């Protein structure tokens, strides 16, 4: 376990980065020395060979010395290369950490775009996935299952009990920098898009090959084939027995071919990630945990059938050896050994023994990696706080000093905000670029973090377990023949349906219904927000149309107006990005047009 002590995260990262860079440089020098030594020994061996066998100056046994030395150097060189690769990955790990702390992280790391859903009620609106997204900032998970769990937590707010359990786990993992570094250095980079649901499906499906007598007969046929081929090559047998053995084995493999192919196809695709999963399992299982969630997941990694990391590593080796059959030099041996069929039986044997445990293992890996990602974020942002969850039945969102987690800390303007059972709706007016949309996103992203179990960008945050629905970034669709206005009202209908659910809903609506005329917009917007409030929802609506501010007056005291303001200073718009009470009393649209030279 690593303790941050009194040092800032950036200082600790810098110190560790310098140490890993020094280690990498030392290993670079050793690599060069060993490379040159291997070349020198090779040339020496070649010279000795010429002198021994061509010139006959001394015995050829002398050539064994450089051969032995070359092998020893090769083994040592391989170890140096592995350590150098690990040191370089450590350098990358700490450089990425420093990039996050210095707000240079956009465009670096995993974006999670594969987790984006076109009709999700808030993911695209709050920049949860994609370049510069919350997922890209948070995600340090190495396996696809870990990334998937983190994505699911961001997309689906958790209930109070789950949030509290995750907070405990994140707090326990937060100081364990050594663990996070070790996980970052395991294995190699894995391919994107590996679908481990295939592995889950395979592990829980009925057996395709049952083994038993057929496996023994196939094994006996393979032994017979190898024996007859060996006897033929040694001159002890003619070709007849070989052909008979091959024919017998061909009949057996032909009968099994369809089932064998099904087994291999089902397990081969996720096999590329299995070695990394085994290493992650082993490292996570080596830790001791006190928080309830981590201790429970640690128990989930125990199995009566053996250590999970050993079992998954064995499966990974079976999948890896399947690739040998594609090697044209190995293919003849593979045919003689019935390589594919033998491995299909071995895979089915593994499934019968461990298949029921695979979903439990994958869930444990995914949750612990997701918790580790949140813990890394918590450690890098020591000023962020864990939110307080309000009791069941209380509809509240109370924030003090809240800012947007994706904005640079140095320039992030923070605001206070309060919604409750008494004050359910805030209508936010203000000029262009004054910060209205950013406020909605800041609220939404912090609620996503809070209900995922992570700290939030605020001095304090108290909230109910909330559902979330947003209409901030709505686009038209030429392919689907939908206008932006139609796409927006479809989203508003979905948000209304969410409000009819069991728990309270937080809605965030940006420039509601701005694709229609002022008259229809005023009537439609009031109907929407009244309907949401009547269903127990709380939320914010932004607008340029000051007529909509009258909605808050009509719905008082359950609704109120707030605004952002601006000033024109020396021909340049200046914003303070702070919430003010009441309705904005001016617009900057004409000023902005004039400031860029338009004659208005």
Residue-by-residue pLDDT tens, the chain, 600 positions: 444 446 899 999 999 999 999 999 999 999 999 999 989 988 887 787 777 666 665 555 666 787 788 888 888 988 899 899 989 999 999 999 999 999 999 888 889 999 999 889 999 999 999 999 999 999 998 888 889 999 999 999 999 999 999 999 999 999 999 999 988 888 665 444 456 677 777 777 787 777 678 778 877 888 888 888 888 777 778 788 878 888 887 888 888 888 888 888 777 766 666 777 788 888 888 888 999 999 988 887 775 556 788 888 888 888 888 777 776 767 777 777 787 888 888 888 888 888 888 888 888 888 989 999 999 999 999 999 999 999 877 889 999 999 999 999 888 999 999 999 899 999 998 877 788 899 999 999 999 999 999 999 999 999 999 999 999 987 644 444 456 778 888 888 999 999 988 788 999 999 888 767 777 778 888 899 999 999 999 999 998 777 788 888 888 899 999 988 877 666 676 778 889 888 877 666 666 666 666 665
- Contact predicate 103/112, CB 8 Å: no
Supply φ then ψ for residue 536, to 5 degrees: 90, 5
Is residue 154 within 8 A of residue 134, CB to CB? The reply is yes
Closest CA to 28 of 91, 70, 71: 91
How far apart (Å, rounded) are the C-alpha atoms in residues 472 and 469?
Answer: 10
Q: Which helix (H) or strand (E) holds 96?
A: helix 64-101
* Signed CA dihedral, 181, 182, 186, 190: sign only: negative
Cα–chain center distance at 162 = 20
Which three-class secondary structure state does DSSP give residue 466?
Answer: coil
CATH fold for domain 388-595:
Rossmann fold (3.40.50)
Total length of the chain: 600
Is the Cα torsion angle 140, 145, 149, 151 positive or negative in sign? positive
Distance CA 281, CA 264 (A): 24
- Quote the CA–CA distance of 246 and 336 in Å, as a whole number: 8
Cβ burial 217-238 (10 Å sphere, 16+ → b, else e):
ebeebbebbeebbeebeeeebe
Q: Where are the domains of the chain?
A: 1-102, 197-380, 388-595
């Amino acid at each position: 376990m690593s303790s941050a002590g009194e040092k800032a995260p950036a200082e600790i990262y810098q110190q560790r980065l310098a140490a890993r860079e020094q280690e990498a440089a030392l290993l670079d020098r050793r690599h060069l020395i060993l490379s040159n030594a291997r070349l020198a020994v090779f040339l020496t061996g070649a010279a000795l060979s010429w002198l021994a066998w061509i010139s006959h100056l001394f015995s050829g046994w002398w050539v064994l010395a450089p051969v032995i030395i070359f092998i020893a150097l090769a083994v040592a060189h391989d170890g140096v290369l592995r350590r150098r690769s690990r040191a370089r990955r450590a350098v990358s790990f700490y450089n990425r950490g420093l990039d996050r702390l210095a707000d240079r992280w956009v465009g670096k790391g995993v974006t999670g775009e594969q987790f984006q859903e076109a009709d999700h009620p808030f993911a695209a609106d709050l920049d949860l996935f994609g370049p510069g997204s919350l997922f890209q900032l948070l995600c340090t998970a190495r396996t696809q299952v870990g990334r998937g769990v983190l994505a699911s937590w961001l997309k689906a707010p958790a209930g109070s009990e789950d949030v509290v359990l995750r907070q405990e786990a994140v707090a326990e993992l937060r100081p364990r920098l050594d663990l996070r570094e070790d996980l970052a250095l395991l294995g190699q980079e894995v391919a994107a898009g590996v679908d481990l649901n295939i592995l889950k499906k395979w592990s829980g499906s009925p057996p395709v090959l049952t083994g038993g007598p057929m496996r023994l007969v196939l094994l006996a046929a393979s032994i017979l084939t190898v024996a007859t081929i060996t006897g033929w090559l040694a001159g002890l047998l003619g070709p007849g027995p070989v052909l008979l053995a091959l024919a017998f084995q061909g009949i057996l493999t032909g009968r099994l071919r369809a089932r064998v192919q099904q087994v291999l196809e089902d397990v081969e695709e996720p096999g590329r990630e299995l070695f990394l999963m085994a290493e992650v399992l082993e490292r996570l299982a080596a830790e001791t945990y006190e928080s309830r969630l981590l201790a429970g997941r640690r128990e989930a990694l125990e199995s009566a059938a053996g250590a999970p990391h050993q079992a998954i590593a064995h499966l990974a080796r079976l999948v890896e050896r399947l690739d040998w059959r594609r090697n044209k030099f190995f293919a003849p041996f593979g045919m003689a050994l019935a390589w594919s069929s033998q491995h299909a039986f071995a895979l089915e044997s593994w499934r019968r023994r461990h298949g029921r445990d695979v979903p439990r293992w994958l869930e444990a890996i995914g949750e612990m990696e997701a918790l580790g990602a949140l813990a890394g974020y918590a450690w890098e942002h020591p000023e962020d706080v864990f939110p307080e969850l309000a009791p069941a039945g209380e509809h509240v969102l109370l924030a003090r000093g809240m800012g947007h987690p994706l904005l640079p800390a140095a320039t992030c303007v923070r605001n206070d905000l309060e919604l409750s059972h008494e004050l359910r709706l805030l209508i936010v007016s203000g000029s262009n670029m004054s910060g209205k949309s950013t406020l909605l996103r800041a609220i939404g992203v912090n609620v996503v973090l809070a209900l995922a179990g992570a700290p939030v960008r605020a001095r304090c945050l108290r909230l109910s377990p909330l559902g979330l629905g947003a209409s901030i970034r709505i686009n038209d669709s030429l392919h689907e023949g939908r206008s932006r206005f139609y796409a927006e009202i479809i989203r508003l209908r979905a948000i209304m349906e969410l409000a009819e659910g069991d728990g309270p809903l937080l809605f965030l609506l940006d420039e509601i219904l701005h694709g229609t005329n002022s008259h229809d917009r005023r009537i439609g917007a009031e109907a929407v927000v009244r309907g949401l409030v009547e269903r127990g929802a709380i939320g914010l609506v932004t607008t340029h149309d000051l007529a909509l501010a009258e909605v808050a007056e009509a719905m008082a005291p359950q609704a109120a107006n707030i605004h952002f303001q601006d000033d024109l200073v020396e021909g340049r718009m200046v914003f303070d990005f702070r919430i003010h009470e009441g309705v904005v009393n001016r617009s900057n649209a004409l000023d902005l047009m004039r400031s860029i030279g338009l004659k208005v």
